[in-house]
Amino acid sequence: MDLWTESRGPVRATQRDVQKAGAINALLVHPIDVLPHQPGDPIRPFALGIFNEMRPLLKPEVGLTKLRRATAVYVRLKRYYFASAQPGAMRHDLAGAPV
């Protein structure tokens, strides 16, 4: 197994990643910038506790379980893992800013 000892640059989203991110944004009153909006956008690891920041943005008619499931699907994507595993990887807030 080849361990990453230096960053390989941003991990870019595919169409599938964008669809999974879109499923999260569809549940919120407005899209969050930490998620990729089109293929080629960088995948940015979430800041710890970001789910609690997303909860107030949930559309009134949407249950919390749907948001949990959509978020779980996204963070289990292979490219999300790669983005998180890079040496020096930063976590990001809702606006996409490193924290």
Contact of 45 with 84, CB cutoff 8 Å: yes
Terminus-to-terminus CA distance in the chain, angstroms? 30
Is 51 part of a structural domain of the chain? yes
Q: What is the count of structural domains for the chain?
A: 1
Examine residue 72 and state whether it is found in any structural domain, yes or no: yes
Angle (CA) 81 45 19, round 5°? 75
For residue 8, the model assigns a pLDDT of 75
pTM of the model: 0.90
Burial 31-59 (b: 16+ CB within 10 A, else e): ebebbbeeeebebbbbbeebeeebeebee
Both tokens assigned to 79: 């490219």
For the chain, 99 residues long, the average pLDDT of each consecutive 10-residue run is 69 97 98 97 96 96 96 96 91 96
Domain presence at residue 47: yes
In a domain, 21, yes or no: yes
pLDDT attached to residue 4 = 64
In a domain, 99, yes or no: no
